[in-house]
Structure 1
Amino acid sequence: MHRIAFIVYPGFELLDATGPAAVFNGANRALSLKGRPAFYRVELVSAGGGATESSCGIAVETRAIDAFDPEGAGTVLVVGAEREWLLPAVACPALAAALPGLTAAAERYGSVCSGGFVLAALGLLDGRRVATHWDASGPFARTFPQVEVDADALYVVDGRVWTSAGVTTGIDMALAMVAHDLDPSIAGEVAQRLVLYARRPGFQSQFSAVLRAQTKGDSPFAELIGWIQTNLGAPLDVPSLASRVGQTERTFHRRFLAATGLTPARFVETARLDAARMLLSRGLPLKTVAAEVGLSPTARFSEVFERRYGVSPRLFRDMQAGH
């Protein structure tokens, strides 16, 4: 079996551990339904063992890290926490003594959310590209200049090192691990079982254009933004959108830019390309994707996609499909 050790400590973010753990358990369940043996064994590990309380007050039972046998370790992941709980973990002698050996023996290692601070403080991420929570990316980069921080990605895979942006992105990273270890179809079954909207690939931004706009609760265009997201194949030019909200084109353009930080054209193109990347990662034909997101014909779609990302949609699909 593939052993997965989540390294936790007082005040850890519960979902950083339980979210991915639910994915690995879901994979075992999917295998069982196919008459195949379980593949994953999840263990919670802490400095001293015993009950370890999370930030939300729920305690979990853990094994002491010095009693955890590094031989046969499959995956070692350090979970994240808010700053006041993270700093003691970074300075913990027991973790500092054991983690280098554990990560050296593991098939892969990494972190969820700000757990990367613990690894980076020990030099275990030097020369690597990593992801972390958007709110921690600046401090992380300043504190550890020898580590390349991708402040945008949901998760990053750099050799044996897997790191995620935080909280729910740990679920996305765990699904990618399942797809890598077993089969993308198993990962898909787990995602469906967990009622996830989609399996998000690592390249997807922590903040989509839609999410950025939705975070502004007083946005006068919240309803329009939701409609755009579900009608990408419709005419989404400025005259059509302005008419939909009952404004003149000039007024609409000015107010939309003020509310979202993007021009209507840029917002629509970004929403379409975000959706296109998701569809391409599923291996769909370019013609189908172009029609689905309102960028037909295929030549136009290819031109817009390559201008934005510097790679053709065909090559992007070939690189991402199945991962």
Structure 2
Amino acid sequence: MASRSHSVGVLVFDGMKMLDLSGPAEVFSEANRYGAEYRLSIVSADGAPVRSSIGVRVPADVDARAAAAYDTLVVVGGDALPGAPVDPGLSTAAKALADRAGRVASVCTGAFVLGAAGLLEGRRATTHWQHTAALARRCPSTRVEPDAIFVKDGTTYTSAGVTAGIDLALALLEEDHGPDLARKVARSLVVYMQRAGGQSQFSASLQGPAPRTPVLRLVQEAVQGDPTADHGLEALAARVRVSPRHLTRMFRAELDTTPVKYVELIRFDMAKALLDAGHNATEAAALSGFPSYESLRRAFARHLGLSPIRYQQRFATTAPGSRTRTATG
């Protein structure tokens, strides 16, 4: 495949989560095996090595002040970020790098670094579900979306907990090279394997067909960004400025489905992710945009042949002391 070189800078710091670096890095590295050309650089605020959360020393390739302009800047997270002010040197480095980057992404609590650098003002964003309330307090002008795997707002991307950095990197890869390559990399990295204890893996960027047409991608982003909003045919058509009939034709031609069925598929995938994360079925229905538990139950019956509660019981963790909550908690 034809490819141009794409530079990726990863901003690291003492206490960084190792998987926040290695997860996306493996996605880009694996993509290179299929013809992409991602060039990865590790950047620290002063060019010095850093110590990761697991104690591994990570050398930096370059000082942030001397770094080139990257096509993509990735800011990793760390356990200390939600509970304390971000080091000014780190936020200053993030701002300087972001100002020169084509797009900016954070993994997990790396969103707190973007927030401290003023890069989330007036934007939509997410972070690890345990820290979304803290991010909302820290960044009052930011619309924090607690249930998103990742959020795209313009050229700024934020992602949820550590493994969601892989989902985000796959989405960036798909944006650069299309869904076929993203699916190849996902299969190679076994994205759909079950998590330890049997909890099912969820990858938002690869569930269901990925639209190629810009208008259909706008529909996808609108539903993923706010699943509880009105996404009926008339509302969707008005949002993307085409007639309902034309929008329906576009969906049938490219995805062999209808807008209504596609919206349900996105909401269904979100509901599965919420159940996987420990929400009860009533909560999952409300947060993913289904009008009631009964409508969610019918969707699960159509797609999986079992109820949401049965699904959660089947895939819940088998760790000692754990239990699956019922539909009402």
Question: TM-score, normalization: structure 1?
Answer: 0.62
Q: CA deviation at 1:103?
A: 1.0
Q: Which amino acid aligns with 1:58?
A: V
**1:68 corresponds to:** 67
Aligned residue number for residue 12 of structure 1: 16
Q: Does 1:91 align with 2:87?
A: yes
Residue 139 of structure 2: aligned partner: 144
Aligned partners of 2:120 and 2:139 also within 8 Å: no
| Secondary structure at 1:126 match in 2 | coil
Q: What's the counterpart of residue 6 of structure 2?
A: 2
State the aligned residue count: 222
Q: Within 2, Cα distance between the matches of 1:130 and 1:171? A: 17
The yes-or-no answer on 1:116 pairing with 2:115 is no
Tell me if structure 2 keeps the 8 A contact 1:154–1:205: no
Which of the residues 79, 98, 105 maps onto 2:76? 79
Query: How many angstroms does 1:30 deviate by?
Result: 1.1
2:245 alignment counterpart: none
**Alignment-derived partner of residue 209 in structure 1:** 275
CA distance in 1, matches of 2:273, 2:145: 13
Within 2, Cα distance between the matches of 1:206 and 1:10?
A: 35
Structure 1 alignment gaps of length 5 or more: 32-37, 215-228, 242-257, 268-323
SS of match in other structure, 2:151: strand
Aligned residue runs from structure 1 range 126-205, under 5 A: 126-197=121-192, 199-201=203-205, 203=224, 204=270
Per the alignment, residue 53 of structure 1 pairs with 51
Matches of 1:206 and 1:232 in 2, distance apart? 11
Task: Kindly state the Cα deviation for residue 11 of structure 1 after the two structures are TM-superposed.
Answer: 0.7
How far apart, CA to CA, are the structure 2 residues paired with 1:166 and 1:235? 28
What is the 5 A alignment of 1:243-282? 260-262=325-327
Q: Tell me, yes or no, if structure 1 residue 27 matches structure 2 residue 22.
A: no
CA contact (8 A) 1:10 1:85 kept: no
Q: CA RMSD in A?
A: 3.0
Q: Deviations over 1:94-146 (max 9, x none)?
A: x3333323212211002111111111112111000001000110111012101
> 2 CA distance for matches of 1:134 and 1:177?
22
Q: What letter corresponds to residue 66 of structure 1 in structure 2?
A: R
- Taking the aligned partners of 1:237 and 1:194, their CA distance within structure 2 comes to 28
Counterpart of 1:49, as a letter, is G
Q: Which has the larger radius of gyration?
A: 1
Cα distance in 1, alignment partners of residues 82 and 135 from structure 2:
16
Q: Provide the C-alpha distance between the structure 1 equivalents of 2:325 and 2:190, rounded to a whole number of angstroms.
A: 29
Q: Which runs of 5+ in 2 are unaligned?
A: 193-201, 206-220, 225-269, 281-299, 311-322
Distance 1:76 1:261, change over 3 A: same
Spell out, residue by residue over 1:238-276, the C-alpha distance to the aligned partner (whole angstroms, 9 max, x if none).
Answer: 9xx8xxxxxxxxxxxxxxxx951415xxx9xxxxxxxxx
Change (3 A) 1:262 1:120: same
Contact 1:80 1:86 (C-alpha < 8 Å) held by counterparts: no
Deviation per CA, 1:5-34: give whole Å up to 9, x if none: 111100100001110000001111111xxx
Contact 1:175 1:199 (8 Å CA) reproduced: no
Percent of matched pairs sharing the same residue: 37
Q: Where does structure 1 differ by over 6 angstroms across 4 or more consecutive aligned residues?
A: none
Q: Secondary structure, in 3 states, of the residue corresponding to 1:109?
A: strand
SS in 2 for 1:135: helix
Partners of 2:52 and 2:164 lie apart in 1 by: 18
Match of 2:40 in 1: 42
Seen in structure 2, the aligned counterparts of structure 1 residues 113 and 206 have a Cα distance that, compared at 3 Å, is farther
Q: Which amino acid aligns with 1:17?
A: L
Q: SS state of the match for residue 45, structure 1?
A: strand
TM-score calculated relative to the size of structure 2:
0.61
Instruction: Please tell me the residue identity of whatever aligns with 1:209.
Output: L
The CA deviation at 1:206 is: 9.2
Change (3 A) 1:24 1:86: farther
